[in-house]
Amino acid sequence: TQHLLTQFSSHAGLGTLLAGNPELALAQARAADARRAAGERGALLGVPLAHKDIFVTRDLPTTAGSKMLTDYRSPFDATVVSRLAAAGTVTLGKLNCDEFAMGSANENSAYGPVLNPWDRTRVPGGSSGGSAAAVAARLLPAATGTDTGGSIRQPASFTGITGIKPTYGVCSRYGMIAFASSLDQAGPMARSAEDCALLLSAMSGFDERDSTSAERPPQDFHAQMLQPREGATAAQPLKGLRIGLPREFFPAALAVDVNGAVRSALAELEKLGATLVDVSLPRTELSIPVYYIIAPAEASSNLSRFDGVRYGHRAEQYGDLLDMYKKSRSEGFGAEVKRRIMIGAYVLSHGYYDAYYLQAQKLRRMIADDFQQCFQQCDLIAGPVAPTVAWRLSEQGDDPVKAYLADIFTLPGSLAGLPGMSIPAGFGEGGMPVGLQLIANYFNEGGLLHAAHAFQ
């Protein structure tokens, strides 16, 4: 623990760590040692990790990457945080992320960007960029992330690590600062599917404090991952597995390097016994406008709590109450957050609600139905995570739409609430990592992890 904490400070230039509490980490490490000495055996006992700064923590500050929450202290721990702590993990600190998890490059953090350890001139992806970069740089073996529209899968792809976003409702959202509540899900980011399975087992499970938490018995995802498939052989552990390739996930415009790495990973899966089938997700392109209506709509509502009264930044000088709200919010929020609040308020406003928000909700249902059509023909869906490898810092300038368009392959699964993973597939332009995305049907995290583990 001591060594890892020192590592973090010597790699401070990557911009991953926002806050740490060495005394707390050492105390947790000693407690884990004591539990082990008393005969306890848990895979996560004493395992160091850090949390995306979107999870509230009692013993460490929580900022959500926003100036709005500078110096904010939560009176409680998020459920994901307390469950991992109960499993004996050691919390090294809080990790940088895009402000309120809005972004795809970690360039929207009020605390500076995060650099990609493979090439420090490039972004690590986002919004869980700090988590991805810290794991990829081997500063720690695992980190938590959250995924609303791709924020676990895309940074995992950009940094060559493994990440899983479970089915909506598998991990409690209690204490996860809300961005778009109908989409937000927590998940682990680590070096392998196996590590993700161990972490997910500890993080997940029903929580009565989250009304959207799935009421299911506790799951042992590690055991599910190891469960052999019927008819599997040692050489062909994936025999009989049908992997659907949505043709919309392989457009002519897909970068050649990404296509190449994904195709070679698919060939490996075939060698392991899987068969590839052609499927279609006809509304893939529509998932971009649908998501960028629904997510900002929910964000505009969720972020109304930051009013400078109960918590968060308050302007020093103001006139009346309204002026206090205005000044506090315009000083506390960054440009992307303001843009989303405005879009969200617009699409929800009288006269536009039917034209935008309601339409988006209907399309969301159709996108989810399209997946069910596909799952009639296949067990898992595969494709790229992102259309390119990690881009360069500031490359997208101030055109937010460029980043929105790059979410095309992660948004459909998010809108449908399906579990999805990114596993390292190979390398592309500039020697940068490329991820393979696997998507499963609801609550089939076990099947997803099984295939990923066989591949790795």
Q: Give catalytic residue positions.
A: 52, 127, 151
Looking at 144-152, 196-204, 241-249, 327-335, which segment touches ligand GLN (CB under 6 A)? 144-152
Question: Which of 57, 74, 82, 127 is close enough to bind ligand GLN by CB under 6 A?
Answer: 127
Question: Which of 103, 129, 188, 312 is close enough to bind ligand GLN by CB under 6 A?
Answer: 103
Q: Are the C-beta atoms of residues 168 and 111 closer than 8 Å to each other?
A: no
Looking at 10-18, 146-154, 315-323, 444-452, which segment touches ligand GLN (CB under 6 A)? 146-154
Question: Which of 202, 407, 413, 444 is close enough to bind ligand GLN by CB under 6 A?
Answer: 407
Total residues interacting with ligand GLN, rule: CB under 6 A: 13
**Residues 271-310, mask of contacts with ligand GLN (x by CB under 6 A):** ------------------------x---------------
For residue 223, give the nearest of 454, 449, 443 by alpha carbon. 449
Q: Which residue is nearest to ligand GLN (CB)?
A: 151
Q: Does 140 bind ligand GLN (CB under 6 A)?
A: no
Q: Are the C-beta atoms of residues 56 and 17 closer than 8 Å to each other?
A: no
**Residues 178-217, mask of contacts with ligand GLN (x by CB under 6 A):** -x--------------------------------------
Bridge pairing between strands 90-95 and 48-52? parallel
Question: Which of 74, 89, 148, 284 is close enough to bind ligand GLN by CB under 6 A?
Answer: 148
Pick the closer one to ligand GLN by CB: 130 or 308: 130
Helices (H), 63-162: 79-86, 129-136, 153-159
Question: Which of 130, 150, 155, 187 is close enough to bind ligand GLN by CB under 6 A?
Answer: 150
| Number of neighbours of residue 248 by Cβ within 10 angstroms | 19
Contacts for 64 with CB less than 8 Å, ≥ 6 apart: 53, 54, 97, 99, 100, 101, 177
**Smallest gap, in angstroms, from Cβ of residue 106 to ligand GLN?**
10
Q: Does 109 bind ligand GLN (CB under 6 A)?
A: no
DSSP annotation string for 22-79: HHHHHHHHHHHHHHHHTT---TTTT-EEEEETTB--SSS---TT-GGGTT---SS--H
Q: Is the peptide bond before 66 cis (omega within 30 degrees of 0)?
A: no
Q: Which two tokens stand for residue 438?
A: 């696997």
Q: Which two tokens stand for residue 118?
A: 């493979």
Q: Does 385 bind ligand GLN (CB under 6 A)?
A: no
| Number of neighbours of residue 231 by Cβ within 10 angstroms | 10
Contacting positions for ligand GLN (CB under 6 A): 101-104, 127, 147-151, 179, 295, 407
